[in-house]
Structure 1
Amino acid sequence: MGTVLKGVSRVRWHELKHAYGSAADVPGVLSRIAWGDAGASEAALSDLALWIGELAVFDATVAAVPFLWDLAVTETVNSRAGVIGLLQTILEHGNPPQPKVQLEAHQAVLSRRATADQLTHDSDPVVRAAAQNLLAGIDSHLSESCCRV
């Protein structure tokens, strides 16, 4: 899969869950985000957002976040601003019955604050704006479970 999604095949996706069940389909969706044209990339991103972030966060969310960060900084990805928006959505959502998963998902986003800062200087103004919003979210993140770390 090249360097963009390097390591995605090493994740045991079939053992992970997202909002609708098995996360075995996540690598294919990540690939469509990475290499699809604008329409395909946006549609795949919309699907992924429903699966791993908009309703709640899951163990598949934790596994996907490092790949989302890689997609956000890869200039050939058509939906980078949307990927950054998904990272912010993940940071804003939780999973109260599974506080450990929530903590891990949030920490996966928070751990790359420097990358978000780097993206605020991107040549694409839409990416810059999304990164500024994410950076503000990171800096003001007050999730009780995350503050206990």
Structure 2
Amino acid sequence: MGTILKGVSRVRWHELRHAYGPAADVPGLLSRIAWGDARTSETALSDLGLSIGELAVFDATVAAVPFLWDLAATTTVNSRAGVIELLQTILEHGNPPRPKVQLEAHQAVLSRRPTADRLADDSDPVVRAAAQDLLAAIDRHPNEPCCQV
């Protein structure tokens, strides 16, 4: 799927789950976000958000976060600010019945703080603002584990 999503085909998406069941559709959504025009990218991002972050986080969320960080940092992606907003949504949502998944999803977002720091100085003011909001959410996130495993 190209250099932006390098490694996405190695993930066993069909074995992972999101809000609507098996996550086999996630690579296609990531691809449309990466290479779609503005409308296609935004629609795919909205669909992905509903699947992996807006309702709760899932094991597919954990697998998708590194690819979301790469999309946010790639200047040719049309919906970078929206990707950053999805990362913040993931950090702020949980899955109380599955605390291990919640912890892993949050750690996946938190682990790339240096990328958020770089994006907070991006030339695009919308990306910059979204990154600054994400950094504030990271700073508010508890230092101790956010949930009991």
Settle same-fold status: TM greater than 0.5.
yes
Amino acid at match of 2:35: W
Amino acid at match of 1:134: L
Contact 2:99 2:147 in 1 (8 A): no
- 1:41-73, Cα deviation, whole Å (9 max, x unpaired): 000000000000000000000000000000000
Quote the Cα distance in structure 2 between the aligned partners of 1:77 and 1:20. 26
Q: Which runs of 5 or more residues in structure 1 are unaligned?
A: none
2:130 maps to what in 1?
130
Amino acid at match of 2:54: E
Quote the Cα distance in structure 1 between the aligned partners of 2:78 and 2:143. 31
Deviation of residue 93 (structure 1)? 0.1
- The aligned runs of 1:69-84 (5 Å cut-off) are 69-84=69-84
- The aligned runs of 1:63-142 (5 Å cut-off) are 63-142=63-142
Quote the Cα distance in structure 2 between the aligned partners of 1:141 and 1:25. 30
Contact 2:18 2:51 in 1 (8 A): yes
TM-score by length of 1: 0.97
Deviation of residue 2 (structure 1)? 1.5
Quote the Cα distance in structure 1 between the aligned partners of 2:148 and 2:51. 27
Contact 1:33 1:77 in 2 (8 A): yes
Contact 1:107 1:146 in 2 (8 A): no
SS in 1 for 2:97: coil
Contact 1:57 1:102 in 2 (8 A): yes
- The aligned runs of 1:11-90 (5 Å cut-off) are 11-90=11-90
Deviation of residue 143 (structure 1)? 7.7
Quote the Cα distance in structure 1 between the aligned partners of 2:145 and 2:15. 25
Amino acid at match of 1:99: P
Quote the Cα distance in structure 2 between the aligned partners of 1:147 and 1:58. 14
- 1:60-104, Cα deviation, whole Å (9 max, x unpaired): 000000000000000000000000000000000000000000000
Deviation of residue 146 (structure 1)? 3.0
Deviation of residue 144 (structure 1)? 6.1
SS in 1 for 2:63: helix
Contact 1:99 1:145 in 2 (8 A): no
Superposition misfits of 4+ residues, deviation over 6 angstroms: none
SS in 1 for 2:56: coil
Amino acid at match of 2:138: I
Deviation of residue 148 (structure 1)? 6.9
Quote the Cα distance in structure 2 between the aligned partners of 1:47 and 1:131. 21
